[in-house]
Copies of this chain bind each other. A is one copy, B any other.
């Protein structure tokens, strides 16, 4: 981080923690210089950054003021899923989404891919290119089954920021985070078992449940604090739950981050009922505030948390470099890894290790995070402008996915059909539920460089959704 970014981060944190509240006047430039021992230009640059992020504004002759937070006014409602274990369906819809990742001339507003155009990613191309060109015998050979020692070491170092003290041997490199999740679920369960999940929930995990013949018990989930511990406790009493699967940090799709105290309480609950927790942290490094939020794993004192993550959302999913820290299940995880794909591809692991070791990863994160934070606000602005009244919007503090809850009259699967004519596609909310809930919701990606073409597409989504609202009113008359 540069000096001014550090200053901005400190101020941002104070705003986010309510130390400076909306409408408050911020300390003067001079006061900041004194407090933080920086130059005037550094303090000015920090304030400029906070203005870019629309967190504060400058009022001529009066100073800098905290802007009203957008989040609370527009959040979607708490989920009320079916209260019994369900089989998973929705594969057709998931397939439609994932099968169109490439060579599709539609604008895929809903996809889960980071921005791959930032120059800060260039060194990775270079490193990869160099490694592959000079491939010696080792480069084409199998790597270690648990993954390249170099990469595991870097992952262990990175995990410190999330509160985890991991030894490289606690880590297993996987073929993307998907394989980590798949391994975790397979080693914990037998067909017919029940897994408690947050709701909505990442469709990739849901499909693992389907493939393994598992049942999902969707737990009501608060759009600000995550899975309801109260509902989960009741469920644990009532059902033979084998594992709890959650994405507690920058949740996909809801965007919330569970507060640290609730993460800790979740571990305690799991201990009381002796269940394992599968924690998906794939977006955790994309935090708009520093330090990044702690993982559930950081509160795990008896190895029951299987932490799953990877570099798909920070560097690029086409690399297929993921990892897991399976805690007390390491031996079973290693066996599942062998069975699933054998050792992971050799050179991509080394390239990522080098990219991280040389500081490129941190630099790239800074670039991406700053852009995503700005773009979140731009995208929210568009949704507020173009979507029908009564639309709820999430307010993520990291990552690049927005959850939008439209009026009940809107069915986003049907909306997608209408959008096809305009070459636009969103991720319908029903993808994220075993019971096909959330049909009036959709996921938007704001990692794109937000061009006028994207604004037009978002506007089209809003307008067609508005039409659906209108039609439903008309049919009621």
Chain A, 147-190, CB within 8 A of any chain B CB: 149, 175-176, 178-179, 182, 186, 190
By a CB distance below 8 angstroms, the chain B residues around A94 are 338
- Asked whether, in the complex, the Cβ of A182 is within 8 Å of the Cβ of B340, the reply is yes
Q: Which of B102, B212, B315 contacts A144 (CB 8 A)?
A: B102
By a CB distance below 8 angstroms, the chain B residues around A373 are none
Which stretch, A31-39, A125-133, A400-408, A454-462, touches the partner chain B? A125-133
B-facing mask of A178-218, CB < 8 A → 1, else 0? 11001000100011000000000000100110111100000
A468 at the interface (CB under 8 A from B): no
- Asked whether, in the complex, the Cβ of A134 is within 8 Å of the Cβ of B144, the reply is no
B-facing mask of A116-139, CB < 8 A → 1, else 0? 110001001110111111110111
By a CB distance below 8 angstroms, the chain B residues around A131 are 132
- Asked whether, in the complex, the Cβ of B339 is within 8 Å of the Cβ of A341, the reply is no
The smallest beta-carbon distance between A187 and chain B, in angstroms, is 8
A141 at the interface (CB under 8 A from B): yes
- Asked whether, in the complex, the Cβ of A317 is within 8 Å of the Cβ of B182, the reply is no
- Alpha-carbon gap, A139 to B338, bound state (A): 26
A91 at the interface (CB under 8 A from B): yes
Q: Which of B142, B182, B317 contacts A339 (CB 8 A)?
A: B182
By a CB distance below 8 angstroms, the chain B residues around A137 are 116-117
By a CB distance below 8 angstroms, the chain B residues around A342 are 98, 176, 178, 204, 317, 320
Q: Which of B128, B134, B139, B319 contacts A318 (CB 8 A)?
A: B139
- Asked whether, in the complex, the Cβ of B318 is within 8 Å of the Cβ of A142, the reply is yes
- Alpha-carbon gap, A334 to B103, bound state (A): 18
By a CB distance below 8 angstroms, the chain B residues around A210 are 335, 339
Q: Using CB atoms, name the residue of chain B closest to A121.
A: B140
A87 at the interface (CB under 8 A from B): no
- Alpha-carbon gap, A35 to B394, bound state (A): 80
Which stretch, A284-292, A344-352, A437-445, touches the partner chain B? A344-352
- Alpha-carbon gap, A196 to B344, bound state (A): 29
By a CB distance below 8 angstroms, the chain B residues around A234 are none
- Asked whether, in the complex, the Cβ of A318 is within 8 Å of the Cβ of B340, the reply is no
Interface residue SS majority, chain A: helix
- Asked whether, in the complex, the Cβ of A341 is within 8 Å of the Cβ of B129, the reply is no
A261 at the interface (CB under 8 A from B): no
Given contacts A129-B132, A318-B345, A318-B347, contact A99 B339 (CB under 8 A): no
Q: Which of B139, B207, B318 contacts A335 (CB 8 A)?
A: B207
A258 at the interface (CB under 8 A from B): no
The smallest beta-carbon distance between A434 and chain B, in angstroms, is 15
- Asked whether, in the complex, the Cβ of A140 is within 8 Å of the Cβ of B316, the reply is yes
B-facing mask of A296-336, CB < 8 A → 1, else 0? 00000000000000000001111110000000000000111
A356 at the interface (CB under 8 A from B): no
By a CB distance below 8 angstroms, the chain B residues around A204 are 338-339, 342
A113 at the interface (CB under 8 A from B): yes
Apart from the given pairs A101-B144, A125-B132, A128-B132, 10 other A-B contacts in the complex at a CB distance below 8 Å:
A95-B145, A101-B145, A102-B141, A116-B137, A131-B132, A141-B318, A142-B317, A175-B175, A186-B211, A320-B343
Q: Would you give 30 A-B contacts (Cβ < 8 Å), ordered by A?
A: A91-B335, A95-B145, A98-B338, A98-B342, A99-B146, A101-B144, A101-B343, A103-B149, A116-B141, A125-B132, A125-B133, A126-B133, A128-B132, A129-B129, A129-B132, A139-B318, A140-B316, A140-B317, A141-B316, A175-B341, A178-B338, A178-B342, A179-B341, A182-B339, A182-B341, A204-B338, A207-B339, A318-B343, A320-B344, A345-B345
Q: Which 3 A-B pairs have the closest CB atoms?
A: A140-B316, A129-B133, A318-B346
